[in-house]
Amino acid sequence: MRSYFISMASIFVAAVSLLTCQSNTASRDAIDQRVDELLAKMTLEEKIGQMNQYNGFWDVTGPAPNEEQARKKYDHFKQGLVGSVLNVRGTAQVRKLQELVVKESRLGIPLIFGQDVIHGQETITPIPLAEAASWDLAAIEKSAQVAAAEAAAIGLNWTFAPMIDISRDPRWGRVMEGAGEDPYLGAKVAVARVKGFQGNDLSAPNTIAACAKHFAGYGFSEAGRDYNAVDIGTYTLHNVVLPPFKAAVDADVKTVMNSFNVLNGVPATGNKYLQRDILKGRWKFNGLIVSDWASIFEMIPHGHARDLKQAAELAIHAGNDMDMESYAYVQHLKSLVEEGKVSEEQVNDAVRRILRLKFELGLFDDPYRYCDSVREKSVLMQPDHLTAALDVARKSIVLLKNDRGFLPLNKAQKNIAVIGALAADKNSPLGNWRAGADENSAVSVLEGLQKYTLAIRYAKGADVVVGKPEFIRETAVNETDSSGFREAVALARQSDVVIMVLGEDGFLSGEGRSRTNLNLPGVQERLLKAVHRVNKNIILVLMNGRPLTINWANANIPAIVEAWQLGTRSGDAIAQVLFGDYNPSGKLPMTFPKSVGQIPLYYNHFNTGRPDPTGLVFWSHYIDETNEPLYPFGYGLSYSEFTYSDLKIDTTDRQAINVSCTVTNTGRVAGEEVAQLYIRDRVSSLVRPVKELKGFQKFTLEPGASQNVQFVLTDAELGFYDADGQWLVEPGEFDVMIGTSSVKGLVGRFSR
């Protein structure tokens, strides 16, 4: 009976998906037809206009235009010479500009409105690196859904997210925007975010087009300095950098943004191999590629293009469809076509991609469909958005240290000191790229704690270094001011427990915010030590946009909680973890080094020929630091304990090897665990990393309960890309590990 139902159900599912598939194809065909009809009416100039994207008139997220350029831009809107605009938001403003274009330009082709909606529009969810620490794909997808609903409600149709650059360098400020160092986790998170933004129907009032960025290699900038050159080998390109992009394309991401960096000698924006050969060719991506801000122009200082005209020529040949703020296409593409250096068919192909997206967004049916001012008010910061933001914020927290069950705090705990400027900060928890969030709109840690108890006294102790661009370097405040120490130390002396909230200002990470040291900024570590001298019962709550080097804290402080920048509900999430109403379940998506000198430090590295300390000197190591990280990838504690047992490897089906084990909650409280599976291909034609994540599962276990976790390893998990990016599967011996982090688990071996 059961199997009858199963087969009836699967026939039904198959029939529905066949119908959906047919209707998708039909609507795609209908759109293509409308695109061609419109294209036939367009002049060459109008076509090129569609490939031109301008910034709006106020917010700038790149170098600003001068006055003359701004005036010219305004006329271009009326002449139909702009296809899309960024940083114009709010239904009133969007409607105004849309009306200008629709009513005044000859063909009235509506604009697409884009913006960096990176982790929320007004309801801010954790920075993407933090969310990746949740390893909870449903929560991540939901977070993107919330962002999309709010962005669409204020007139936007396109977000420049997700950023899916893999990075191994926490000096690079933009690690806050990505999912960390691992391509497998990175690909899963990328797909969750794309699905969350785009939903199933792009024309729905609560979905927007996503943009996978930055294509490609941007996270590998030399020395972690933003915009710097990238020089990586083919193994890393195909096996580390590209897989999240491939996954996003397979998940139907509508747009891709290229990147500022030079990749192996050729700027990514002018890189034909990346864009035409791989993305549009091999992967059959049929969406649009937008340049990054002025990245076409930047091929001149890179030393790849002689002038803007040649830059335009190189960019379109390489496959770049839309020009963000370089003015290169709008100024030069027409003459390039007339001179025969660019074919009109190349222009047509780019324009088709752009128009297709406009049709899919429903903009031709109603250019003002995202301009409902009543909806705008009701959607922003809805209660269920705030609930989703709290849920993902709690899940993003990583418990780094908890000696002798120091945490959670007893709810009856009296006499608590809270120290650190970030504890009262309502702005920093919003992180960088906080779109339209109101200043100071986060719940601070202090406010979150006060919902539990009033037995709290607060002292600031010291400021954090403020990282807003205008302050950086020249006037960075409070590098040295320790005048608040005395009050903080006195308070700590009289208290039973001290919660110290230390870390980075909300603008110290993000674009253009590279650092050369990863210590707690300013005098915060000195403050920590001063307090520790009078009271050892310290809980350190870290608020930061990237891994930090906190060796002293790790050696001396009994409890450490990584709370990143968790968004609007930050303080509530942190308080719930500290008081045990939420049992932390996050795992690090990025290695924490002990020293900047170890960077790049990542778990999936290659072995060396001299990996073991067999002699005194001649093996691969440092003479002044160990090779090990402070906290490894995949690491994170819980108030529960999880025991792994009974590893089984079943190779009966060589195409689908079954690896399983039992995970038991041997602790006293219910908790969530992320079981992680790693493999190592022991011998291969191209050497393979010592470990590679190939599966994970997150689940809840009551105390004493067990769960059988199963993973299936197929060619998709066991193969790799060769130097040209072709998938290769070689027979051989594999090590496998299932465990609680990248360094702790049950190990086995199989051949196939």
- End-to-end CA separation in angstroms for the chain: 37
Q: Is 203 exposed, middle or buried (0-12, 13-18, 19+ CB in 10 A)?
A: middle
Nearer Cβ to ligand NOJ, position 207 or 291? 291
746's tokens: 């049950």
Q: Could you tell me the maximum CA-CA distance found in the chain, to the nearest angstrom?
A: 80
Nearer Cβ to ligand NOJ, position 290 or 738? 290
Smallest gap from Cβ 116 to ligand NOJ, in A, equals 5
Nearer Cβ to ligand NOJ, position 113 or 642? 113
Q: Which of 538, 445, 462, 428 is nearest to 493 (CA)?
A: 538
Q: How many residues bind ligand NOJ (CB under 6 A)?
A: 9
Smallest gap from Cβ 117 to ligand NOJ, in A, equals 10
What is the residue whose two structure tokens read 């890393």? 236
The single residue among 39, 61, 341, 453 that binds ligand NOJ, judged by CB under 6 A, is 61
283's tokens: 């992967």
Q: Is 403 a catalytic residue?
A: no
18's tokens: 């066949």
Smallest gap from Cβ 8 to ligand NOJ, in A, equals 48
Smallest gap from Cβ 166 to ligand NOJ, in A, equals 15
Give me the amino acid identity at 654.
R
Q: What's the rounded Cα separation, in Å, for the pair 386 and 327?
A: 40
The single residue among 142, 213, 395, 691 that binds ligand NOJ, judged by CB under 6 A, is 213
Q: Which of 640, 713, 634 is nearest to 676 (CA)?
A: 634
Q: Is 598 exposed, middle or buried (0-12, 13-18, 19+ CB in 10 A)?
A: middle
Q: What's the rounded Cα separation, in Å, for the pair 629 and 144?
A: 31
Nearer Cβ to ligand NOJ, position 59 or 641? 59
Nearer Cβ to ligand NOJ, position 291 or 402? 291
Smallest gap from Cβ 61 to ligand NOJ, in A, equals 3
Alpha helical stretches, state H, 605-734: 715-718
675's tokens: 């079981």
Q: Which residue is nearest to ligand NOJ (CB)?
A: 61
The single residue among 50, 110, 116, 497 that binds ligand NOJ, judged by CB under 6 A, is 116
Nearer Cβ to ligand NOJ, position 46 or 292? 292
Contacts of 701 (CB under 8 A, 6+ apart): 640, 642, 663, 664, 665, 670, 671, 672, 673, 707
Give me the amino acid identity at 505.
D
Find out whether the peptide bond into 214 is cis, omega within 30 degrees of 0.
Answer: yes
Q: What's the rounded Cα separation, in Å, for the pair 450 and 208?
A: 38
Nearer Cβ to ligand NOJ, position 154 or 464? 154
Nearer Cβ to ligand NOJ, position 62 or 725? 62
Contacts of 416 (CB under 8 A, 6+ apart): 409, 449, 453, 455, 456, 457, 495, 496, 497, 498, 499
Nearer Cβ to ligand NOJ, position 116 or 504? 116
Smallest gap from Cβ 215 to ligand NOJ, in A, equals 11
Nearer Cβ to ligand NOJ, position 84 or 444? 84
The single residue among 54, 113, 197, 293 that binds ligand NOJ, judged by CB under 6 A, is 293
Q: What's the rounded Cα separation, in Å, for the pair 184 and 161?
A: 18
How many C-beta atoms surround the C-beta of residue 708 within 10 A?
10
Q: Is 430 exposed, middle or buried (0-12, 13-18, 19+ CB in 10 A)?
A: buried
Check if the beta carbon of residue 593 is closer than 8 Å to that of residue 629.
yes
Smallest gap from Cβ 86 to ligand NOJ, in A, equals 6
Q: What's the rounded Cα separation, in Å, for the pair 120 and 209?
A: 14
3-state SS, residue 114: strand
Smallest gap from Cβ 293 to ligand NOJ, in A, equals 4
The single residue among 122, 131, 136, 292 that binds ligand NOJ, judged by CB under 6 A, is 292
Nearer Cβ to ligand NOJ, position 281 or 512? 512
Q: What's the rounded Cα separation, in Å, for the pair 457 and 12?
A: 62
Give all strands (DSSP E) within 322-397, no chain letters.
323-324
Smallest gap from Cβ 114 to ligand NOJ, in A, equals 8
The single residue among 122, 131, 141, 511 that binds ligand NOJ, judged by CB under 6 A, is 511
Residue among 292, 321, 323, 391 flagged as catalytic = 292
User: Which of the residues 139 through 168 are near ligand NOJ (CB under 6 A)?
Assistant: 160
HSE-up of residue 153 (Cα within 13 Å, Cβ side) = 20
According to DSSP, the β-strands at 266-267 and 262-263 are antiparallel
HSE-up of residue 81 (Cα within 13 Å, Cβ side) = 17
Contact between 113 and ligand NOJ by CB under 6 A: the answer reads no
User: Which of the residues 183 through 212 are near ligand NOJ (CB under 6 A)?
Assistant: none
The single residue among 31, 39, 57, 62 that binds ligand NOJ, judged by CB under 6 A, is 62
For the chain, give me the number of helices (H) and strands (E)? Answer: 23, 25
Smallest gap from Cβ 518 to ligand NOJ, in A, equals 22
Q: Which of 68, 61, 39, 108 is nearest to 327 (CA)?
A: 68
Smallest gap from Cβ 64 to ligand NOJ, in A, equals 12
How many C-beta atoms surround the C-beta of residue 670 within 10 A?
16
* Residues found near ligand NOJ in the complex (CB under 6 A): 61-62, 86, 116, 160, 213, 292-293, 511
Q: Which residues form the catalytic set?
A: 292
